[in-house]
Structure 1
Amino acid sequence: MSEVTLAQVHQALQRYWGYTALRSPQGDVITALLERRDVVVVLPTGAGKSLCFQLPALLQEGITLVISPLLALMENQVADLRQRGLKAAAYHSELSTYQRRQVLRQVEQQQLRLLYLSPESLFSSAVWQCLCAPALRLNGLIVDEAHCLVQWGDRFRPSYRRLGTVRPEIARLKPEHPRIGLAAFTATADPSSQRVLIEVLGLDTPAQIRHSPYRPNLHLRVHSVWSRGYRRHCLRHFVQQKGRTSGLIYARTRRDTETLAAWLQHHGYTTAAYHGGLPAPERRRIETAWLQGTLPFVICTSAFGMGVNKPDVRWICHYQPPLQLSEYLQEVGRAGRDGQPAVALTLVSDRWGLDRDDQQRWQFFERQSQDIQRQAMAQATKLPRQGNLNALRSTVANLELTLALLHQQGALQWQDPFHFQLRQIAPNVVPPNREDPESRRMQEFLRYKGCRWQFLLRAFGFTQEAQTCRCGHCDRCNS
């Protein structure tokens, strides 16, 4: 285990986290990171993924970079680390200019062990120049919630597609420094997604550490609704049954969260709407109230709950089903992390009923995604064979998304984080109008007649576990 001994690992574990032993397979992950091996880690929500990279970062010299998709996730993890007396910071756009300078000064003086960033912040001029300083020692690059690279990298967050350039460019600039280890952490990556992560990040024969997402205490239910009024009736009845226990209601749009919160407040419930459009202080207030139990439940978009550690969540309700199966598994996994019984209910339009909201929503987001890609690819013929991303920003619309799509199709190679070379390009390249396979799998899951957990295990590559699984507690098994 490199220079760090097993005894030092357990001493730090007990001193900072209060645990006397690691859970399986945390030890394997920590060992791999301390040996600077590349790793793909697929562990279910609540399995302690964050500890697996936080503890090695604490025990090594230099800074570990953590790429995180959501500001709230960064802030929650940094706040938790600081409470434990550990040296961590986040750099993001909602910090003041002074605060951002302070964080970069801490980086320059090597006062941190963990620096949390979005992929966009990582490639900002100020951060990148700071990280490339000859004296600065980088210890590792962790891509947390790595499924976001697969889901968003060629659609909404194109900077994810450039992460594979970080290690070779740092090695070129600092040849005398030790090799940077790379790791991708997620709770939801099927075999196809794992292959994408390995390819895009440039992982070198990575260790692949996977654990079944099956949770015997988590009861999965899907309920058909035939009208908008009946959907609300089912929601209210479900919430009434749960009393003051802790839960989350997921809706797909900001407007829906606010409308539902107002409606439930009118009926006497103490709750709040949560989404990415709220000011940061308001988001922190709602999170704190929910964590402390003064808000029993929150109506939220997918921006809420990722990385939040609240073991006693007894229920999850999807007022509308997620667009993708990986989103579903992420969100239901936030219930019952203490091992006690929990239930996850999804309300979905009955295909023969009056309510067509879910089908219309799936179709809308599919068309929107295709339109974004089509507009971006229309710019492809304007690109030079070799180019500088920063120099072309002002002249090519949708530039980063166009480059990400070309990279995804194998038509572009990143030479470093800011320079690209086209391999091949056809005029007027337009992505095919194909249905998102993730969306299709989500709909198949909702209509599936067999065991819910069996379906999920097969979908995420745990075929052997699926063959032996008879959960006995989902709505299909109970019926």
Structure 2
Amino acid sequence: MNNSAKISWNDVLVAFQEIWGYKDFRSPQGEIIRSLLAKNDALIIMPTGGGKSICFQLPALLQTGLTLVVSPLVALMENQVQELRQHKLSAALLHSELSSWQRRKILQALEQQKLRLLYLSPETLFSPPVWQILCQPQLTINGLILDEAHCLVQWGDTFRPAYRRIGAVRPALLKSKPIGTKITLAAFTATADPLAQKIIQETLQLNQPAVFLLDPYRPNLNPRVRLIWTPRDRKQQLFKFIREKQQTAGLVYVRSRRDSENIAAWLQQMGYVTASYHAGLSAEERRMIETAWIEGKMPFVVCTSAFGMGINKSDVRWVVHFHAPLFLSEYVQEIGRAGRDGKPAQTLTLVSEPTGWLDPEDKQRQKFFEDKMRSQQQQAQQLIKKLPKTGEINAVTRQYPDAAIALSLLHSTGQLNWLDPFHYTIVSSKKTQPVSQLHAAKQMNKYLTTKQCRWQFLLNAFGFHQKGENWRCGHCDNCRRGEAFDE
């Protein structure tokens, strides 16, 4: 059975110093580690760069048995596993880009209980070879960690529907384990508003979780939003901003792979050392770009949201959103990559003027997203009439190609329950929940047009009201309206 009861706090501190070289924890790292070692479920919201990964890696390494880390992006998993392996620690990752012999080797290590940490995506977790091994009675599983848990809310309904099935994992695994086995479940993210927190807790079926909430406010981050009038103006504003940054480290975020490639090619023609980074690149290409950027050989990268999660570089001086993100949670994650060293950092978002007459791109993107969401909702409501009341996901998706997304939407509206990660039952034909993604997209629009302090808006949106109604940061564009900015 799990052996966390035998671990003294002194063991924890000794391991922390031996592996990471630090003498003591930052608050609330110590409390989170105690909670996980005591087998409590937890929801942890800590700002980007706050040291979240140590909070679940250390308990995992101190216990015999396996901790599963469900993570959204290969690049993010690669970075964490590479760091752990440099410390000679038993961690591995499974993903679709591995060769068959690499995959076999990791599955063998998993079966032989040689791993302490296994990183994998929700889709890989549910693949038959992995799931069969995890269900073996003799395989000890201590914990299930959902890293970057905001993705469950942001992507789980429509983009990565496997996220909606994670809540069924623990009960299904426990059925195959010896009586009395405990599996801790913890969700980690930098951003989750009160609605997102509720969705994460309910979807994962967290059991009386210890909740750790740290607000995302960073006094050294200076957010600005600039109205642009034409596509040419957007490029000129970006060029002017980068030119004034003189080789300091930064990131340019765009929304699509095509934009990433086009903008990077244009800036390369202007003489800048940069690269396009998106999920379509090979692992080698991604690693090469990350290394060049981290080592300062490439001052900035033109990237989609695939870049940055879990990549630790402390001296990033600026982040530009060439296009605004769809969600506030994405925005706060991405600006949070700047200024981790505590020194001032600039963040700039370029947004079309509200009518969109001369540059309709932002409006079109927003409309496309909203139309797609509504259409998927309608398809789900039509499909519920055709589905068997109880069914198996693979059989249903063979018959109806879009069924995986429809099932996750029906789960999010309270019309369907997962009996286990592969079997569902329809519980109601009436919708009970609002569409959380549309709500989140509307919040982002309000942020871009607000006249109030930007940090006050963000803190309120994420449920942090303790700074007081009239509190202002004093360093965003709205607080400093009329002043000359330090570029």
Question: TM tier, shorter chain?
Answer: over 0.9
- Paired residues for 1:37-436 under 5 Å: 37-176=40-179, 178-352=181-355, 354-425=358-429, 436=438
Could you report, residue by residue, the CA deviation over 1:294-318 in whole angstroms, capped at 9, with x for unpaired residues? 1110000000001111111110000
Three-state SS of the structure 2 residue aligned to 1:287 is helix
Give the AA of the match of 2:160. R
Contact conserved, 1:374 with 1:430, CA < 8 A, in 2? no
Contact conserved, 1:64 with 1:141, CA < 8 A, in 2? yes
> Aligned partners of 1:441, 1:216: CA distance in 2, in Å?
22
Partner of 2:453: 451
* Counterpart pick for 1:462 among 451, 461, 464: 464
Contact conserved, 2:413 with 2:434, CA < 8 A, in 1? no
> Aligned partners of 2:467, 2:5: CA distance in 1, in Å?
34
Return closer, same or farther for 1:30/1:430 CA change in 2, 3 Å cut-off: closer
> Aligned partners of 1:262, 1:168: CA distance in 2, in Å?
50
Three-state SS of the structure 2 residue aligned to 1:179 is coil
Matched, 1:25 2:28: yes
Partner of 1:477: 479
> Aligned partners of 1:350, 1:392: CA distance in 2, in Å?
45
Give the AA of the match of 1:15. E
Structure 2 stretches of 5 or more lacking a match? 482-487
Shift of the alpha carbon at 1:404? 1.1
Query: Displaced runs of 4+ in structure 1, greater than 4 A?
Result: 429-435
Contact conserved, 1:378 with 1:430, CA < 8 A, in 2? no
Shift of the alpha carbon at 1:433? 9.2
Contact conserved, 1:273 with 1:299, CA < 8 A, in 2? yes
How many residues of Structure 1 are paired with residues of Structure 2 in the alignment? 477
Three-state SS of the structure 2 residue aligned to 1:436 is helix
Contact conserved, 1:376 with 1:397, CA < 8 A, in 2? no
> Aligned partners of 2:31, 2:65: CA distance in 1, in Å?
22
Three-state SS of the structure 1 residue aligned to 2:201 is helix
Give the AA of the match of 1:43. M
Three-state SS of the structure 1 residue aligned to 2:409 is helix
Shift of the alpha carbon at 1:382? 2.0
Give the AA of the match of 1:472. G
Contact conserved, 1:315 with 1:342, CA < 8 A, in 2? yes
Three-state SS of the structure 2 residue aligned to 1:351 is coil
Three-state SS of the structure 2 residue aligned to 1:367 is helix
Structure 1 stretches of 5 or more lacking a match? none
Shift of the alpha carbon at 1:468? 6.5
Three-state SS of the structure 2 residue aligned to 1:317 is strand
> Aligned partners of 2:273, 2:236: CA distance in 1, in Å?
18
> Aligned partners of 2:286, 2:301: CA distance in 1, in Å?
11
Shift of the alpha carbon at 1:380? 2.1
Give the AA of the match of 1:71. V
Give the AA of the match of 2:464. F
Give the AA of the match of 1:285. M
TM-score (norm 2): 0.95
Return closer, same or farther for 1:396/1:95 CA change in 2, 3 Å cut-off: same
Could you report, residue by residue, the CA deviation over 1:236-277 in whole angstroms, capped at 9, with x for unpaired residues? 010011111110000011111111111111111000001111
Could you report, residue by residue, the CA deviation over 1:174-222 in whole angstroms, capped at 9, with x for unpaired residues? 1335200000000110111111111110111111100011001111111
TM-score (norm 1): 0.96
Give the AA of the match of 1:320. H
Q: Give the superposed CA RMSD.
A: 1.8
Three-state SS of the structure 2 residue aligned to 1:221 is strand
